[in-house]
């Protein structure tokens, strides 16, 4: 039995790809390189190899480098790059050394480039296009350097830039074709101003805003929200698919469990519902490469010994890394799955994993433990599309819409989170509001109140919920109120 899934440790490349013939001159040059430079070079080569292999949820996509250069040039045009004010001169212990700080310069530039790589290029570019238009219209020097921590004079100046930029965007309205001039929401406007402030702070190497000076803009945004029409009564691709609906679809033979793809589709739907998986957590996020260190692979499954907490039924854990990993911690969350009392039911999550194992690997799953780490299949994606590529958010969305057609639901009302919403609703129906809320937050990997950080998950409660969620019944309010989508906070 494995002791835990080793994740985020790149596997060494095959020997033939690691040994590269070098000329004697190149070998001598390598020996003369400083250790830091060799390590930096090796790290860059590893990143290049990982990208070529398509590994890494956060790896650059083709063209990202060129797009990043274009965005940085646009930021430079807007006066948002470089230090704000006078730069800090570098100082050296020995000013007569030959290197003249070349090592430090390389390291500093590397940190700067890596910080830029975390930015959403599309969002930054949109904000910069708006900001360039604002600067041309106002002829304003956008930001003043902060003379010290708490510099109110510079803080007020910088906030007035952001406030007037927000007002400029509000008055201009949408730039999209077909909706040009249409009023933008306060959240959209705030997103643009926040992006500009973040970018200037990143370049300045300190926060260029000051909470004490941020007095007017919150009220300006509040006034914008007051002027917006009441929202929320719109379907936003948010209809859930419940357990009873899953049963109906699986009973209709739309998904043939005896075929390879049918077993895959069934397991994708059942596990997304049972584990409250986001659309991209079934395997990988649409538009991003498959990442064997974070996305679901066969070595993410560990079959466990039946115990009292599992009601002496077979069970397993599935290692899930949330796709909403904003700080890129890549924390593994082992999600328990127990066999239902009627193991032959198509909705049984344990049975769905076993069928998937047989369909993909052509063998019976182990009674205990994980797949051998030495097998190539260990890092295969658990789910693949009919075309053989790693399953992504779009495949989850397409599957949910296939089910919606059978159920008589408008496919436009169903998105990739349909199984997650349905599962959360069924968990509440099964466990009750108070107990269900805690299970949903733990099982769905949602953030919770600070006080609940110290409340540990009970294995028995999770295992019972895993097996019992399929028995939940009753309609949700959305199903009875046509066209209404429940907001994130029900108030």
Domain boundaries, the chain: 61-87+121-227, 243-480
Take residue 365 and report the two structure tokens written for it.
């799953």
Q: From CA 24, how far away is CA 232, in angstroms rounded?
A: 69
**Architecture of domain 243-480 in this structure:** Orthogonal Bundle (1.10)
With a cut of 70, list the residues of the chain below it in pLDDT: 1-61, 97-101, 231-238, 325-330, 446-458, 477-478, 480-491
pTM here is 0.68
Within 13 A of 437's CA, how many CA atoms are on the CB side? 5
Within 13 A of 6's CA, how many CA atoms are on the CB side? 9
What's the confidence (pLDDT) of residue 123? Answer: 92
In terms of Cβ atoms closer than 10 Å to its own Cβ (0-12, 13-18, 19+), residue 350 is buried
Beta bridge partners of 335: 318
Under a CB-based contact definition with an 8 Å cutoff, are residues 270 and 288 in contact?
Answer: no
- Using DSSP, state whether 258 is helix, strand or coil: coil
Q: From CA 200, how far away is CA 206, in angstroms rounded?
A: 9
In sequence order, the 6+-apart residues with CB closer than 8 A to the CB of 107 are 36
Under a CB-based contact definition with an 8 Å cutoff, are residues 132 and 74 in contact?
Answer: yes
Under a CB-based contact definition with an 8 Å cutoff, are residues 156 and 101 in contact?
Answer: no
What's the confidence (pLDDT) of residue 20? Answer: 36
What's the confidence (pLDDT) of residue 326? Answer: 56
What's the confidence (pLDDT) of residue 61? Answer: 67
Give the DSSP per-residue string, 264-329.
Answer: HHHHHHHHHHHTT--GGGSSB-TTS---TTTS-BGGGEEEE---TTTTT--EEEEEEE-S--TT--
Q: Which helix (H) or strand (E) holds 337?
A: strand 332-338
Could you tell me which of 354, 384, 404, 417 has the C-alpha nearest to residue 246? 404
DSSP 241: -
What's the confidence (pLDDT) of residue 67? Answer: 87
Give the Å distances, CA to CA, from 295 to 190, 391, 394. 32, 10, 15
What's the confidence (pLDDT) of residue 57? Answer: 60
Take residue 340 and report the two structure tokens written for it.
């239902």
What percentage of the chain's residues is helix, strand, coil (to nearest 5)? 50, 5, 45
Q: From CA 381, how far away is CA 291, in angstroms rounded?
A: 9
Q: From CA 332, how far away is CA 461, in angstroms rounded?
A: 20
Q: From CA 7, how far away is CA 28, in angstroms rounded?
A: 36
Q: From CA 141, how far away is CA 3, in angstroms rounded?
A: 58
Of all residues in the chain, what percent carry a pLDDT higher than 90? 49
Under a CB-based contact definition with an 8 Å cutoff, are residues 314 and 467 in contact?
Answer: no
What's the confidence (pLDDT) of residue 292? Answer: 86
Under a CB-based contact definition with an 8 Å cutoff, are residues 472 and 426 in contact?
Answer: yes
């Amino acid at each position: 039995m494995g002791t835990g899934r080793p994740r985020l440790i790149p596997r060494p490349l095959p020997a033939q790809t690691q040994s590269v013939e070098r000329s004697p001159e190149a070998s001598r040059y390598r020996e003369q390189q400083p250790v830091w430079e060799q390590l930096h070079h090796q790290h860059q080569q590893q990143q290049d190899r990982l990208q070529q292999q398509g590994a890494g949820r956060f790896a650059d996509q083709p063209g990202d480098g060129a797009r990043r250069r274009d965005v940085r040039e646009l930021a430079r045009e807007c006066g948002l790059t470089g230090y704000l004010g006078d730069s800090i001169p570098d100082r050296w212990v020995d000013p007569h050394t030959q290197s003249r700080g070349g090592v430090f310069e390389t390291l500093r530039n590397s940190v700067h480039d890596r910080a830029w790589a975390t930015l959403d290029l599309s969002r930054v570019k949109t904000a910069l296009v708006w900001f360039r238009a604002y600067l041309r219209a106002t002829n304003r020097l956008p930001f003043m350097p902060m003379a010290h921590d708490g510099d109110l004079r510079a803080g007020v100046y910088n906030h007035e830039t952001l406030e007037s930029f927000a007002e400029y965007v509000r008055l201009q309205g949408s730039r999209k074709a077909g909706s040009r001039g249409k009023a933008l929401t306060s959240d959209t406007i705030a997103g643009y101003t926040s992006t500009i402030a973040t970018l200037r702070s990143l370049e300045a190497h300190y926060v260029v805003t000051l909470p004490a000076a941020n007095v007017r803009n919150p009220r300006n945004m509040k006034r914008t929200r007051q002027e917006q029409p009441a929202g929320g009564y719109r379907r936003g691709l948010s209809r859930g698919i419940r357990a009873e609906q899953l049963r109906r679809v699986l009973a209709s033979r739309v998904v043939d469990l005896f075929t390879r793809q049918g077993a895959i589709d069934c397991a994708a739907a059942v596990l997304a519902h049972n584990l409250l998986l986001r659309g991209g957590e079934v395997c990988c996020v649409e538009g991003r490469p498959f990442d064997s260190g974070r996305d679901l692979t066969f070595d993410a499954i560990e079959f466990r010994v039946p115990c009292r907490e599992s009601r002496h039924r077979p069970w397993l854990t599935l290692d899930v890394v949330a796709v909403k990993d904003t700080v890129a911690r890549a924390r593994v969350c082992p999600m328990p799955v127990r066999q239902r009392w009627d193991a032959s039911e198509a909705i049984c999550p344990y049975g769905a994993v076993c069928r998937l194992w047989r369909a993909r690997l052509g063998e019976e799953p182990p009674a205990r433990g994980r797949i051998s780490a030495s097998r190539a299949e260990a890092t295969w994606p658990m789910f693949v599309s009919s075309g053989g590529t790693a399953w992504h958010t779009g495949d989850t969305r397409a599957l949910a819409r296939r089910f919606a057609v059978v159920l008589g639901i408008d496919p436009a009302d169903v998105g990739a989170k349909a199984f997650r919403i349905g599962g959360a609703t069924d968990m509440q129906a099964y466990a009750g509001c108070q107990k269900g809320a805690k299970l949903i937050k733990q099982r769905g990997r949602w953030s919770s109140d600070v006080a609940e950080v110290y409340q540990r998950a009970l294995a028995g409660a999770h295992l019972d919920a895993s097996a019992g969620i399929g028995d939940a019944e009753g309609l949700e309010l959305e199903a009875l109120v046509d066209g209404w989508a429940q907001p994130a906070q029900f108030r």
